[in-house]
Amino acid sequence: MTWFTKTLSGETKELADKCRLEAEAYYRSGSYNCSEAVLAVVRDYFRPDLPQEIVQMASGFGGGSGSGCICGAVSGATMGLGLVLKNDKKQISQLTRELHTWFKEKYGVTCCKTIRTTNPKEICLVLTGEVAGKIAEMLNR
């Protein structure tokens, strides 16, 4: 059972599950890092009018932006909020705070280096899927 199974409506849960699985598949393929995988799912489900190349803007955010700082999956989701919500900066800020709060409650920190130090490498696959599912849930409200 995943973290969101208990509280979501059937339609939202189904979308969140699809997004989680698709993000994990993108990440597993080796062609996408965590940030790219989450942003690709947001594009696929919420902004399919945008070219696939838009995902490339997330390339530098994988692995904590190369420095180990903020989790790339969280960065990809944050970029996704901007793509979907466009000029609604108030809602983007509110949902970004909500995402960070949720992530910190679940993992203690948003720092990639800290998370990867205390967890196996496979945690990135899990984080990628869970963040993609969470952002889908948030955008589907």
Q: Where are the domains of the chain?
A: 10-139
Strands (E), 20-112: none
Task: Take residue 44 and report the two structure tokens written for it.
Answer: 């696929």
Asked if 72 and 112 count as a contact pair (C-beta separation under 8 A), the reply is: yes
Residue spans of the chain under pLDDT 70:
1-8
Confidence at residue 133, expressed as pLDDT on a 0 to 100 scale: 98
Kindly tell me the burial class for residue 133, based on how many C-beta atoms sit within 10 Å of its own C-beta (0-12, 13-18, 19 or more): buried
3-state secondary structure of 111: strand
Its pTM stands at 0.91
Which two tokens mark 34?
């965590």
pLDDT of amino acid 8? 61
